[in-house]
């Protein structure tokens, strides 16, 4: 028998069946700014689907029923297959249907990269693990486009809007996914220490077949139909297209040793593999593997920024939803003055991250513009460092809004928190990003000056003063490497201050600029100065989540 001892009250219902797009004023109003408002109807439809209880349940299931590795079949034959819960394929199907893996390449037009970033940003709020194969496929296409014969075979399958989960040779698939395999256990980010070797099967050079022998320590999404891999020839590190199945239809000898037991990103399988004369086709010029793969890395790093901004947005939305419905000490949490300060501060941080990631995506739509190239080359690694770092603290603060309810795995906050560190590590950790920022500034000093001139043109006196302070940090060269994190942080805060002053509502932009320039504000959320009136705090919060 069950005995009822008390009524259940003051517990917040799950946030579901809401439109992720139309509840986000910043995202909606930014599309026209970047000539991407032609995509608004699609995003509205997608936002409704992604916020539905059915899709949110699929995201939870994909992270409950984790990928399973099967190295051999019942008869003892090597299959190296990873099996997924159907919810994983449901999520990949949604990504594919929206064209988030290829649309700027398959249907180029002004605003295409911003439109794709907006869709990716929304999907990242629902489930992060399924983003990985789509990101790698997206980043691989510009590299593969340079290989005429190979790309002709792959083009239709790469551009297809239908997800095909079948484990078959590429020729038999309706659509394909492409992964990446760079790091090895002895080197990590230092890929120059890679030991995997490639030996020509006949003729040598670009477009020719090779046999690869070696290993990869992180080989994400091993069920992708092919991976772009770094391996050494006699000339040096080169890039290879390594399919899951050989051209003759036999399984390629890419042996999955085990799946990584990761902190987060659980739905996505990351593996260790051994190559035993695995078949691969050289992509790009021999000995130029790193420059070839870096073209992909620039795009995957932007997706790390978008993904972290998406995590921040979802954590914020969950925190505001909880605070609007949870009562403490006689008031709703959202009506408590200190909680309003915390939520408004978080909302400012999320808006600044959103605006920066959209601006970086817009830079891809103007590759011939010197200023936009500077945003891409200098500010993308800088944003990858700062936004991904901020997501860790941000999701933790939003979890705290929920109190103990946020710390349990049955709610959404724990998964958001566990997802946060991965984007800061993958595609180059913090120090790697900051050193890349320094190299980018040294290689493109004119681009740096264009950025500084743009930011100095701000109508906001405080933004102009921030630029002056940044230039002081940029001037010394003796200790520049040691101060790379400080410089990178100031670069991003200056860019965000400019974008907020330029595009946000005037008093909201001012609140961000004042607080981020105030040393006493510190890094603790909820310490906005008293100049941010109660009415302004309320407006920031209400505008940040329209629901």
> Domain map of the chain by residue range?
25-70+77-131+148-159, 170-288, 292-544
Distance CA 36, CA 33 (A): 8
Whether 300 and 394 have beta carbons less than 8 Å apart is answered as no
Cα angle at 181 between 314 and 262, to 5 degrees? 45
pLDDT band at 298 (very low <50, low <70, confident <90, very high): confident
Distance CA 241, CA 178 (A): 9
Give the residue-averaged pLDDT of 330-358.
Answer: 97
pLDDT in tens, 214-251: 999 999 899 999 999 999 999 999 999 999 999 999 99
Q: What is the pLDDT of residue 420?
A: 98
Q: What is the pLDDT of residue 524?
A: 85
Percent of the chain clearing pLDDT 70 (strictly above): 99
Going along 204-305, which residue ranges are E strands? 209-220, 226-232, 237-243, 254-259, 270-283
Residue 215: name the closest of 256, 243, 250 by CA: 256
Cβ-based neighbours of 118, under 8 Å, separated by 6 or more: 21, 27, 30, 31, 36, 39, 43, 358
Give the residue-averaged pLDDT of 419-431.
Answer: 94
Whether 304 and 428 have beta carbons less than 8 Å apart is answered as no
Q: What is the pLDDT of residue 273?
A: 97
pLDDT in tens, 318-334: 999 999 999 999 999 99
Distance CA 130, CA 262 (A): 15
Cβ-based neighbours of 514, under 8 Å, separated by 6 or more: 462, 529, 531, 532
CA 478 to chain centre: 34
CA 391 to chain centre: 11
3.30.1330.200, 2.40.110.20, 3.40.50.10860, 2.120.10.80: CATH of 170-288: 2.40.110.20
Q: What is the CA radius of gyration of the chain?
A: 24
CA 242 to chain centre: 24
> Over 90: is that where the pLDDT of 427 sits?
no
pLDDT in tens, 56-87: 999 999 999 999 999 999 999 999 999 999 99
357 by DSSP, 3-state: which? helix
Look at the block and give the residue holding tokens 């209400």.
542
Q: Supply the CATH classification number for the domain 292-544.
A: 1.20.140.10
Distance CA 408, CA 6 (A): 22
Q: What is the pLDDT of residue 190?
A: 81
pLDDT band at 521 (very low <50, low <70, confident <90, very high): low
Whether 110 and 104 have beta carbons less than 8 Å apart is answered as no
Give the residue-averaged pLDDT of 201-206.
Answer: 96
Residue 419: name the closest of 199, 268, 233 by CA: 268
DSSP labels, 470-512: HHHHHS--TTTTTTHHHHHHHHHHHHHHHHHHHHS-HHHHHHH
Give the residue-averaged pLDDT of 137-159.
Answer: 97
pLDDT in tens, 7-59: 889 999 999 999 999 999 999 999 999 999 999 999 999 999 999 999 999 99
Residue 117: name the closest of 127, 103, 97, 136 by CA: 103
Whether 433 and 351 have beta carbons less than 8 Å apart is answered as no
Distance CA 6, CA 512 (A): 45
Distance CA 439, CA 432 (A): 11
DSSP labels, 292-316: HHHHHHHHHHHHHHHHHHHHHHHHH
> Over 80: is that where the pLDDT of 507 sits?
yes
Mean pLDDT for the chain overall: 95
The CA–CA distances, whole Å, from 168 to 81, 263, 316 equal 11, 31, 41
Alpha helices in 102-196 (DSSP H): 103-106, 112-124, 131-145, 148-159
3-state helix, strand, coil in the chain (%, to 5): 55, 15, 30
Give the residue-averaged pLDDT of 363-381.
Answer: 96
**Phi, psi dihedral angles at 454 (to 5 degrees):** -60, -50
> Over 70: is that where the pLDDT of 530 sits?
no
Q: What is the DSSP letter of 376?
A: I
Q: Which helix (H) or strand (E) holds 401?
A: helix 380-402
Q: What is the DSSP letter of 252?
A: P
Distance CA 344, CA 515 (A): 11
Alpha helices in 403-444 (DSSP H): 413-425, 430-443
Whether 45 and 23 have beta carbons less than 8 Å apart is answered as no
> How many Cα atoms sit within 13 Å of 109 on the Cβ side?
9
Strand duo 270-283 + 209-220: pairing:
antiparallel
Cβ-based neighbours of 235, under 8 Å, separated by 6 or more: 286, 287
């Amino acid at each position: 028998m069950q005995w009822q001892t008390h009524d259940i009250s003051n517990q917040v219902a799950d946030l579901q069946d809401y439109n992720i797009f139309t509840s986000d004023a910043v995202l909606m109003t930014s599309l026209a700014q970047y000539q991407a408002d032609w995509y608004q109807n699609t995003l509205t439809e997608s936002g409704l689907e992604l916020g539905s209880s059915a899709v949110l349940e699929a995201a939870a299931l994909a992270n409950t029923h984790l990928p399973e590795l099967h190295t051999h079949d019942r008869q003892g034959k090597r299959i190296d297959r990873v099996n997924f819960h159907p919810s994983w394929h449901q999520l990949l199907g949604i990504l594919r249907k929206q064209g988030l893996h290829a649309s700027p390449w398959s249907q180029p037009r002004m605003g295409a990269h911003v439109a794709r970033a907006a869709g990716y940003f929304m999907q990242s709020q629902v489930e992060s693990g399924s983003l990985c194969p789509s990101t790698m496929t997206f980043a691989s296409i510009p590299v593969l486009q340079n290989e005429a014969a190979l790309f002709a075979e792959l083009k239709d399958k790469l551009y297809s809007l239908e997800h095909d989960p079948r484990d078959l040779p590429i020729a038999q698939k309706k659509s394909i996914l492409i992964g990446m395999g760079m790091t090895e256990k002895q080197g990590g980010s230092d890929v120059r220490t890679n030991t995997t070797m490639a030996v020509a099967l006949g003729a040598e050079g670009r477009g020719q077949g090779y046999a690869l022998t070696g290993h990869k320590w992180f080989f994400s999404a091993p069920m992708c139909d092919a991976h772009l891999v770094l391996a050494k020839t006699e000339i040096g590190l080169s890039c290879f297209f390594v399919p899951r199945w050989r051209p003759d239809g036999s399984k390629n000898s890419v042996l999955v040793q085990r799946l990584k037991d990761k902190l987060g990103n659980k739905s996505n399988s990351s593996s260790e593999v051994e190559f035993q004369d695995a078949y691969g086709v050289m992509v790009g010029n021999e000995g130029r593997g790193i420059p070839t793969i870096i073209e992909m890395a620039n795009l995957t790093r932007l997706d790390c920024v978008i993904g972290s901004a998406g995590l921040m947005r979802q954590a914020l939305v969950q925190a505001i939803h909880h605070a609007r419905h949870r009562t403490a000490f006689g008031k709703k949490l959202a009506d408590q003055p200190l909680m309003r300060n915390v939520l408004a501060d978080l909302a400012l941080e999320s808006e600044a991250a959103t605006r920066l990631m959209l601006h970086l995506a817009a830079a891809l739509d103007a590759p011939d513009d010197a200023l936009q190239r500077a945003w891409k080359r200098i500010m993308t690694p800088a944003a990858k460092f700062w936004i991904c770092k901020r997501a860790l603290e941000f999701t933790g603060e939003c979890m705290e809004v929920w109190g103990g309810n946020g710390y349990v795995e049955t709610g959404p906050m724990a998964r958001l928190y566990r997802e946060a560190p991965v984007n800061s590590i993958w595609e180059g950790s913090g120090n790697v990003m900051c050193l890349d920022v320094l190299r980018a500034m040294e290689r493109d000093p004119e681009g740096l000056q264009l950025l500084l001139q743009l930011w100095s043109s701000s109508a906001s006196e405080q933004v102009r003063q921030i630029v002056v302070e940044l230039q002081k940090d940029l001037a010394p060269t003796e200790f520049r490497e040691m101060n790379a994190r400080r410089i990178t942080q100031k670069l991003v805060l200056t860019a965000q201050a400019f974008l907020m002053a330029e595009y946000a509502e005037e008093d909201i932009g001012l609140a961000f600029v004042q607080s981020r320039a105030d040393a006493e504000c510190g890094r603790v959320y909820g310490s906005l100065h008293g100049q941010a009136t109660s009415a302004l705090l309320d407006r920031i919060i209400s505008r940040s989540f329209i629901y």
